[in-house]
Amino acid sequence: MIIFLSIVIFLSLKKTFKLNISKKVFKNKRIKTFNKSNLNNWMNLTKKERYKQSKKESFSYLKNRKLLLDEIRKEYKRIKKSDLKGD
């Protein structure tokens, strides 16, 4: 009886973990960027998925802007130093 019960528990756990793994795999196959050509794919996402995607894109855009601003500041510093040395 104990053996039968342990086998049933084992099989149920295995099935549960298999479902969780398959859900993770399918979520990773979502399209990462959206544009006019795949607008239908964007609309087929759930509201929560669209929110997460737009939040992720917003964060990456902000990060790129910060990097660009740092590069511009470094360039101005370099130009300013070269002007001071040239005078």
Give, for all 87 residues of the chain, the pLDDT tens digit.
788 778 878 777 777 777 665 555 555 555 666 677 777 887 888 888 888 888 988 999 999 999 999 999 999 999 988 888 876
Contacts for 45 with CB less than 8 Å, ≥ 6 apart: 30, 53
| Residues in the chain, overall count | 87
pLDDT at residue 72, as a whole number: 95
The confidence score (pLDDT) of residue 13 equals 74
pLDDT at 41: 80
Label residue 9 exposed, middle or buried (CB < 10 Å: 0-12, 13-18, 19+): exposed
Residue 62 has what pLDDT? 95
